[in-house]
Amino acid sequence: MITLHLGEDEIARRGSLVVIYEGKNISKDIADSILECTYRDSINEFDTIDLTLEDRHGLWIGAWSPQKGDKLQIKYKLTNWRKKGTVYHNLGDFYIDNIDYSGPPDIVSLRGISVDIASNIMDSKEYKSWEDVTIKKIAEDITKKCNLELECDFEFNRVYQRVEQKLESDYTLLKRLCSEAGITIKLYSDRLILFEESKYEARDPQMKISKLDCKDYRFSIDDTDTYSGCRISYYDYMLDKKIEHTFYTKQRPGYKKNTQRLLFLNHDAAVPGETQQQKKEYLLKIAQKELREKNKTGITCSLTLMGQEQQLSASDIVVVYSFGRFDGNYIVTEITTDYSEYQHSISLRKCLEGY
């Protein structure tokens, strides 16, 4: 049973799960049988929930037998955590995609994902092509077909002469195109969200984390694929010559200044724009996005925290301090919460400057 009672006061702080199954609140019915619950929130993947329950009375293998695609709505209820009162953390909507029975004793394990498996956005392999299209238009076509809500929060709407979907899922296609365009894709509660991480990194921090807050921590500097600049070239048939432009960042992550290493790109598609300046701006934007994708994992961090009253989510910005050279703003890329202990395992990367 996942109900935490922490503290020595008469009014102890408590945490408990609220589970809505196919529209019915079953929280009280299953409260004594919940063994484990783990929630994974990722910045560029669908979210998952893993729920493990005792089945002493054979309900989950009998009358309550779950079906793939059944909907779970889950919240976490905090009572008297830091101050008197109740706070709810909304974990979102999930659709069961895996069911496992084991024993003895009789146990059922349910896994849910944050996208309706009936939408076919991940499973159905399609063949389709687009001509003279933007990435936003492709996303609009796919979400309309899959009955999903689309949210776009990006400025650079990359243009394509031709895009071919060759027996790949809609999600795989979008993820590939978004990676090229420097856009992050997220499936959450029947919504497809496309956003630029650079815009999120400019937001105000949601939380401050010090060394004293952490049960454990680890920082890493990765130099295997980081660059100080990106040189992009293409052949202009109108001018009958090769054109090159270079975008430089302020500093290569983890390196002292003026440490040079260039990323070279060849753009083999037509460049939109009526003037050479417009074409240059378009190409430099591609170079900037490619460089950011290469460099964004230059400094990463993983840490473990005890559960907080304030809800922390993937894509939130936090201030990390008391770690010397690693102090600064970080974006949460993944957070896994174990509700049996109410503990967070968090992956972060340092926010980039000069992009």
pLDDT confidence of residue 118: 77
List, for residues 173-212, the tens digit of each pLDDT value.
Answer: 999 899 888 899 988 878 899 999 988 999 999 999 999 9
Task: Give the integer Cα–Cα distance in Å for 226 and 292.
Answer: 9
pLDDT confidence of residue 255: 61
Average pLDDT over residues 235-242: 84
**Is the pLDDT score of 217 beyond 90?**
yes
**Is the pLDDT score of 112 beyond 80?**
yes
Q: What percent of the chain has pLDDT over 90?
A: 48
What letter would DSSP give residue 215?
E
pLDDT confidence of residue 8: 46
pLDDT confidence of residue 6: 47
**Is the pLDDT score of 127 beyond 90?**
no
**Is the pLDDT score of 137 beyond 80?**
yes
More confident residue, 169 or 83: 169
Q: 3-class DSSP state for residue 305?
A: strand
Phi, psi values for residue 50, rounded to 5°:
-120, 120
Task: Enumerate the β-bridge partners of residue 266.
Answer: 233
Structure tokens at 300: 């990463």
Between strands 207-210 and 317-321, the pairing is parallel
Neighbours of 190 (CB within 10 A): 18
